């Protein structure tokens, strides 16, 4: 009997080790290069979402034919890259603060806010200033100047939710204001609550977000009212924290085919949320598809983000491309600058090439021209982000690292090796 019990215990322990690899907490460092790859993936999805032309664009509609709905669903599904950003941010912040509490017995909230200010504010306010300057450019209404004032106090999400989106490349900063609102809550909850209480709070936050979605479905709110609403987006932060609590310092350990299957499930969930449930329509002024479609659609968005993180966490760093790690490390700049790059390339290249003396060019060339313009836009975005990381962000990141309790990223070594 004793030998049987010992054998059973060995089997259970071996099964547990197959599912997760325990990571010994470090009192000084937590850096996962695979999370940089996830950051780049999240940016790339958002970039595709913002650069792919609509199926109703007369210059590309003839290429789509009967696949217009699938094309739009794919393009809209890429918008969940922002959900992936939010989920990753919540997961990482929770992991770092829990490790800080374990190492020092508490969470130094004031130092947390100083670190966030040093990481976010320099580039954020530089983006706001570029948005103010952009109001002088052709095609950007001067009325957006007043709305940029709300961005200066991190109320960009709410002004977009109440007044709608507007034509200014800096509008992408609305999501940063949502993160800043999340930061007002997260460190205090992690400092003063137990893991069980924190889990209950996150579950309640998911329910709270679903209640808002149910309400918006009943009143037939426009899409922009829903998408820009901070309370709706808080669902992604909640599931990111829940994932952190569930893993409890462990890394998922899966075979390659299992990780690929999880990624495919995430993609299929995002696609169905847009194709079957119409959670993210192409038109921001479109009415929503109803309460339950919204709840399920945004739920697939949050769940897909969790699946991506689970699929990537624990991947050996030797399997990760160095260039993807680098681009993930400068992903904040990629996100801030990509809309400005889109404006520049569309104004100076795409609109000039696709129209010559008012006559549309040969249609057979339009597909390659769009692809060339996307590649040019991506290249310009990377250049701007790399310069920003080197000359604007790195000095502040070095200051941030001096007061870090748990070091989370290398500073000054963001280069392709």
* 224-254 residue pLDDT tens: 999 999 999 999 999 999 999 999 999 999 9
For residue 249, the SS3 value is coil
Read off the pLDDT of each residue in 322-336 and give the average, rounded to a whole number.
97
pLDDT of residue 351: 66
In whole angstroms, what is the distance from residue 146 CA to residue 129 CA? 13
The pLDDT tens digits of the residues spanning 300-323 come to 999 999 999 999 999 999 999 999
- Higher pLDDT pick, 354 / 170: 170
Read off the pLDDT of residues 54-81 as tens digits, 9 standing for 90 and up.
777 665 666 676 787 888 899 999 999 9
Distance CA 183, CA 405 (A): 17
Task: pLDDT band for 356, please (50, 70, 90 cuts).
Answer: low
Q: How many CB atoms lie within 10 A of CB 161?
A: 22
Q: Which of 266, 269, 270 is nearest to 258 (CA)?
A: 266
The answer on pLDDT for 287 being more than 60 is yes
- SS3 labels along 76-110: HHHHHHHHHHHHHHHHHHHHHHHHHHHHHCCCCHH
Beta strands in 171-277 (DSSP E): 250-252
Please give the average per-residue pLDDT across 31-53, as a whole number: 95
- Cα dist from 301 to 32, 173, 199, 247, whole Å: 23, 20, 20, 20
Q: Can you tell me whether residue 279 is helix, strand or coil?
A: coil
Note the pLDDT of residue 93. Answer: 95
Q: Count CB neighbours of 20 within 10 A.
A: 16
pLDDT value at residue 355: 61
Q: Average pLDDT over the chain, rounded to whole?
A: 87
Instruction: Give Cα 81 distance to the centre of its chain.
Output: 5
Does residue 38 register a pLDDT over 60?
A: yes
* Residue 416 pLDDT: 40
Q: Per-residue pLDDT tens for 100-136?
A: 999 999 999 999 999 999 999 999 999 999 999 999 9
Which residues on adjacent β-strands are paired with residue 287? 222
* Confidence class for position 365, pLDDT limits 50, 70, 90: low
What integer pLDDT is reported at residue 62 of this predicted model?
65
Specify whether the CB–CB gap between 31 and 409 falls below 8 A. yes
Q: Which residue has the higher pLDDT, 89 or 284?
A: 89
Tell me the β-bridge partners of 252. Answer: 20
Average pLDDT over residues 142-165: 92
Coil, strand or helix at 355? strand
As a whole number of Å, the end-to-end CA separation of the chain is 56
> What mean pLDDT do residues 87-105 have?
95
26 with 99: CB under 8 angstroms? yes
259-296 burial, b if ≥16 CB within 10 A, otherwise e? beebbeebbebbbbbbbebbbbbbebeebbbbbebbbb
Q: Is the pLDDT of residue 15 over 50?
A: no
Geometric angle at alpha carbon 115, from 36 and 236, rounded to 5°: 50
Query: Mean per-residue pLDDT for 15-25?
Result: 40
pLDDT of 21 > 50? The answer is no
């Amino acid at each position: 009997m004793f030998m049987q019990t010992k054998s059973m215990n060995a089997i259970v322990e071996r099964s547990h080790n197959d599912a997760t690899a325990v990571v010994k907490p470090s009192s000084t460092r937590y850096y996962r290069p695979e999370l940089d790859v996830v950051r780049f993936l999240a940016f790339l999805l958002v970039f595709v979402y913002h650069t792919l032309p609509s199926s109703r664009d007369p210059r590309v509609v003839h290429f789509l034919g009967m696949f217009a709905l699938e094309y739009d669903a794919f393009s809209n599904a890429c918008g969940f890259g922002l959900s992936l950003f939010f989920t990753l941010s919540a997961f990482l912040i929770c992991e770092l603060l829990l490790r800080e509490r374990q190492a020092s017995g508490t969470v130094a909230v004031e130092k947390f806010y100083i670190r966030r200010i040093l990481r976010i504010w320099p580039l954020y306010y530089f983006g706001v200033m570029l948005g103010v300057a952009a109001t002088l450019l052709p095609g950007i209404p001067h009325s957006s100047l007043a709305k940029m004032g709300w961005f200066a106090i991190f109320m960009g999400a709410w002004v977009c939710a109440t007044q709608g989106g507007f034509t200014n490349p800096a509008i992408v900063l609305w999501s940063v204001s949502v993160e800043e609102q999340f930061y007002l809550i997260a460190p205090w909850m992690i400092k003063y609550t137990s893991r069980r209480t924190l889990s209950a709070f996150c579950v309640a936050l998911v329910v709270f977000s679903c209640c808002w979605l149910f309400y918006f479905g009943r009143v037939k709110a426009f899409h922009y009212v829903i998408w820009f609403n901070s309370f709706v987006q808080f669902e992604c932060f909640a599931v990111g924290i829940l994932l952190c609590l569930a893993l409890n310092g462990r890394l998922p350990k899966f075979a390659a085919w299992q990780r690929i299957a999880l990624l495919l499930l995430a993609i299929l969930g995002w696609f169905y949320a847009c194709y079957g449930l119409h959670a993210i329509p192409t038109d921001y002024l479109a009415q929503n598809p109803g309460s339950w479609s919204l709840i399920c659609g945004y739920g697939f968005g949050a769940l897909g983000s969790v699946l991506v993180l689970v699929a990537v966490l624990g991947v050996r760093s030797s399997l990760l491309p160095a260039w993807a790690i680098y681009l993930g490390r400068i992903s904040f700049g990629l996100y801030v600058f990509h809309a400005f790059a889109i404006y520049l390339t569309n104004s100076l290249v795409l609109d000039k090439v696709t129209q010559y003396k008012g006559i549309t060019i040969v249609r057979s060339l339009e597909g390659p021209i769009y692809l060339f313009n996307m590649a040019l836009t991506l290249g310009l975005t990377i250049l701007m982000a790399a310069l920003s990381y080197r000359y604007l962000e790195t000095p502040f990141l070095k200051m941030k690292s001096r007061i870090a309790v748990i070091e989370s990223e290398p500073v000054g070594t963001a280069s392709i090796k």
